[in-house]
Amino acid sequence: MTERSVDPMSEVLVLNGPNLGRLGSREPDVYGSTTFEDVAALCRDAARRLGLHAEVRQTDDEAELVGWLHEAADGHIPVVLNPAAFTHYSYALRDAIAQRTAPLIEVHISNPAAREEFRHTSVVAAVASGTIAGFGTFSYVLALQAVAELLAES
């Protein structure tokens, strides 16, 4: 990973939806054995190398996730978002993302298009800056790289 020259105070929220707190024990054949704590450390380390400060959060509560997206919009804070199951049906989440004022990258550990048919549709993709999926936990690193690039361009 290349070091970036981004404002050292640049904060990014790495927001995670339902069941991601159970990584490591949840469907290891799909999500691997990496724990959520491992993902959080990976994100903080990758962000630091990119000149960013990552605050990593996880919730199983749709309303809390919507509130965090409002916080990001109000603060012009970029977001890396793994909406998890909310990806496929949460119009509340979609509407919160539509209010974004900074880059927002949708991220998935697995490739939803290669899984069950109900996972093939993302209601949030159309209002995100972009989507990265299918690269395991490295998807988060790629998403943080995308955020850094988008911030450097602006």
Tell me, yes or no, if 91 is annotated catalytic: no
Please enumerate, by residue number, every residue annotated as part of a binding site.
82, 88, 95, 109-110, 119
From 70, 89, 91, 108, the catalytic residue? 108
> Nearest-5° angle of CA 147, CA 4, CA 129?
10
Please enumerate, by residue number, every residue annotated as part of a binding site for substrate.
82, 88, 95, 109-110, 119
Q: In what order do the strands lie in the sheet with 53-58?
A: 53-58, 11-16, 79-82, 104-108, 130-133
Tell me, yes or no, if 108 is annotated catalytic: yes
Per the structure block, which two tokens stand in for 71?
């916080």
Per the structure block, which two tokens stand in for 19?
């069941």
Q: How many CA atoms lie within 13 A of 54 on its CB side?
A: 29
Name which of 118, 121, 132, 46 is nearest 82 in CA terms.
132
Active site residue ranges: 31, 108
